[in-house]
Amino acid sequence: MASTAGQFNRQLRRQVQSAARHAAAEIMNDLAKAGPLWGGEFANSWVANAPGVGQGRQASYPYTIRDTPNLPDTIKAVARNTKLVIVNTTDYAMQAMDLEEGYFIDPGTDPLGPVVLEGNRYGRMRTDISSGDGNARSTAPKDWFVTYVNGGGMQKSLGNGVRIAFAREN
Amino acid sequence: MNYQAIRAALENPLLTAFNSLVPAVPVFFDNITAVPPNTTTEYVRINITFGITNEPTLTSSVDNARGALVIRIFTEKGRGPARNQTLLTTAVNVLENLNNTAKTTAGTFMRLGEINGPTFSATDEAPHFVGRIDTSWVATVLT
């Protein structure tokens, strides 16, 4: 039978792993909300993978902790530096996140999300749209991804994940 | 909070550095749609975004704005990375100088986070080789 201290340690390890999964779900939801939203494919393509453990399941927005892989509560697993890696599985993810130039075409439908830029396209980045009567449209502000990561949004979600995990376990 | 002062604190030293090169390299900031007419001309794009305007603390609300800075260097495709990396170095030197600037009693106090990158890309459709770095920033307007 495990000692009380041993049970306590195991409970703590479970909470740490649970916090990581909650934080991942929060971040995936934030990314889905902050990113471009045309037909919904990009927002519904965020996946959390656990290196050395397994792939997350392909789910859709809104994401929950069930969409993240189960993390073992062994000491080795808890000590792992990278617990979860969040990726977008679309083949145009780099362009959608404003990390690469691309070639953008009007799909001929109206976007599900709000249009934040509209006009004539002048460049190869997603938001290279100037004023004018062109049909080029964009549904997320420029550099939305970098702003989320560097501007405090992701840190807030990490904190929320920890708070949710410890509130639910106690 | 003075957003313009924060923007100026980041943009001015970068603009000065690229203008001081021989020949000067055109720099384009947010909400400027122009790009050089010759598509293979090298140029720099600097974009600043705001994430948080202030941070509440236990005793007061500190006007610490946070955000992201993205610098993209466009150089001619098919000529190797050297020129792009030279221009990236110019930008990184400016950012490191900003981080080494001592805090004063007036003006804008700025600190940058780790610099991510550079990452390079050259897509089939575009005429440029693009080098890109980004970083976080925290700024306090002291006056």
pLDDT over 90 at B28, yes or no? yes
The answer to whether the CB atoms of B35 and A141 lie below 8 A apart is: no
Nearest residue of A to residue B74 by CA position?
A101
Nearest residue of B to residue A132 by CA position?
B33
A95 SS3 class = helix
Which chain B residues contact residue A128 at CB under 8 A? 33
Rounded to a whole number, what is the distance in Å from the CA of B120 to chain A's nearest CA? 8
pLDDT over 60 at B61, yes or no? no
The answer to whether the CB atoms of B132 and A99 lie below 8 A apart is: yes
Higher pLDDT, A39 or A133: A39
Q: What is the pLDDT of residue A44?
A: 97
pLDDT over 90 at B105, yes or no? no
Q: Which of A97, A104, A121, A147 to mutate to test the interface with B (most CBs of B within 10 A)?
A: A147
Q: What is the pLDDT of residue B135?
A: 95
Higher pLDDT, B102 or B18: B18
Which chain A residues contact residue B139 at CB under 8 A? none
Q: What is the pLDDT of residue A33?
A: 95
Nearest residue of B to residue A117 by CA position?
B31
The stretch B6-26 carries a mean pLDDT of: 95
Amino acid at A122: Y
- Is there a contact between A141 and A116 (Cβ–Cβ < 8 Å)? yes
Write the DSSP symbol of residue A127: T
The stretch B30-52 carries a mean pLDDT of: 83
Residues constituting chain B: 143
Residue B48: name the closest of B1, B93, B84, B7 by CA.
B7
- Cα A160 to chain centroid distance, Å, stands at 14
Which chain A residues contact residue B70 at CB under 8 A? 98, 143, 146
Q: What is the pLDDT of residue A9?
A: 82
Least confident of A27-31, A110-114, A116-120, A159-163: A159-163
Q: Show Cβ contacts of residue B94 under 8 Å, excluding neighbours closer than 6 positions.
A: B13, B14, B17
What is d(CA B55, CA A110) in angstroms, rounded to the nearest whole number?
38
Residue A60: name the closest of A84, A85, A90 by CA.
A90
Q: What is the pLDDT of residue A66?
A: 93
pLDDT over 90 at A85, yes or no? yes
Q: What is the pLDDT of residue B60?
A: 61
pLDDT over 70 at B37, yes or no? no
Per residue in A98-153, pLDDT (tens digit) is 999 888 888 889 999 999 999 988 888 899 888 788 889 999 999 999 999 998 88
Widest pairwise Cα distance in chain B: 56
Residue A80 — pLDDT band, cuts 50, 70, 90? confident
Which chain A residues contact residue B126 at CB under 8 A? 101, 124
Q: Mean pLDDT in chain A?
A: 89
What Rg value do the Cα atoms of chain A yield, rounded? 19
- State the DSSP string of A11-27: HHHHHHHHHHHHHHHHH
Q: What is the pLDDT of residue A122?
A: 84
Rounded to a whole number, what is the distance in Å from the CA of B56 to chain A's nearest CA? 13
Q: What is the pLDDT of residue A124?
A: 85
The stretch B99-126 carries a mean pLDDT of: 87
Nearest residue of A to residue B114 by CA position?
A150
Q: What is the pLDDT of residue B70?
A: 96
pLDDT over 80 at B55, yes or no? no
Nearest residue of B to residue A128 by CA position?
B33
Residue B126 — pLDDT band, cuts 50, 70, 90? confident
Which chain A residues contact residue B68 at CB under 8 A? 143, 146-147, 149-151
Which chain A residues contact residue B135 at CB under 8 A? 150
Instruction: Report the side by side order of strands in the sheet with B64-76.
Output: B27-28, B43-52, B64-76, B128-141, B108-121
Rounded to a whole number, what is the distance in Å from the CA of A101 to chain B's nearest CA? 7
- Is there a contact between A110 and A61 (Cβ–Cβ < 8 Å)? no
Q: What is the pLDDT of residue A149?
A: 93
What is d(CA B18, CA B72) in angstroms, rounded to the nearest whole number?
13
The answer to whether the CB atoms of B68 and A131 lie below 8 A apart is: no
pLDDT over 80 at A165, yes or no? no
Which chain A residues contact residue B132 at CB under 8 A? 99
Per residue in A50-73, pLDDT (tens digit) is 988 888 889 999 999 999 999 888
- Is there a contact between A69 and A53 (Cβ–Cβ < 8 Å)? yes
Q: What is the pLDDT of residue B93?
A: 97
What is d(CA B14, CA B7) in angstroms, rounded to the nearest whole number?
11
Chain A residues at the B interface, defined by Cβ less than 8 Å, are 94, 98-103, 122-124, 128, 130-131, 141-143, 146-153
Residue B58 — pLDDT band, cuts 50, 70, 90? low
Measuring CA to CA, how many Å separate B65 from each of A14, A140, A170, B49, B102? 35, 21, 35, 10, 18
